[in-house]
Amino acid sequence: MSEGEARGTDVSAMVEPPGTARPVSGLPDILALVCRVLIGVWFVYSGGMKIFGSGLDRFTRDVANYQLVKAPWDAVAAYSVPWLEVIAGLCLMLGILRRGAILTIAGLVVVFSVSVGWAWSKGLDISCGCHGGDAPIQYWNKAAEFAGYFILLGWLWWRESRPTNGVTRPGR
């Protein structure tokens, strides 16, 4: 007899089979789903525009303009970040490895925030690099955008990490 069975706990409820999604019920679950899909779509779009829209060469120049890293690290970042955005966004949209996708996107937003903060502190008049445009960064708008990301991602993390029916389900 296992420890869970000895305590009268339903052991089968403690382990969620891989790939099993929690059913959506109630307004908070629907809002979380909508937020996950919208954030996921946004990051897939952002990464896709860097890869297929303006191109990775253009994004490499944008990364270099921040003056945070020198060549070849600007190219390493520019060729890696868009793919992380696309993969994490797809995972978030599709509900695959949701907590990992939330952490990845939050990590990207931290890196973006530090980079934009650095450029702001140096007074750089550069384009963001977000979607391949030439418009200079509107620093206060970016700060508000990042705050919104952190609020939504923090709320999603809380929703994904809380116990369900008193049982923490691994693999969410």
pLDDT tens-place string over residues 16-34:
444 445 565 688 889 999 9
What's the pTM value of the predicted model, to 2 decimals? 0.77
- 35-89 pLDDT tens trace: 999 999 999 999 999 999 888 888 899 899 998 989 899 999 999 999 999 999 9
Burial of 156 (0-12, 13-18, 19+ CB in 10 A): buried
Q: What is the pLDDT of residue 28?
A: 87
Q: What radius of gyration, in Å, describes the C-alpha atoms of the chain?
A: 20
Tell me how far apart the alpha carbons of residues 101 and 157 are, in angstroms, rounded to a whole number.
Answer: 10
Is pLDDT larger for residue 1 or for residue 118?
A: 118
Q: What is the pLDDT of residue 21?
A: 54
CB 112 within 8 A of CB 77: no
- 84-117 pLDDT tens trace: 999 999 999 999 999 999 999 999 999 999 999 9
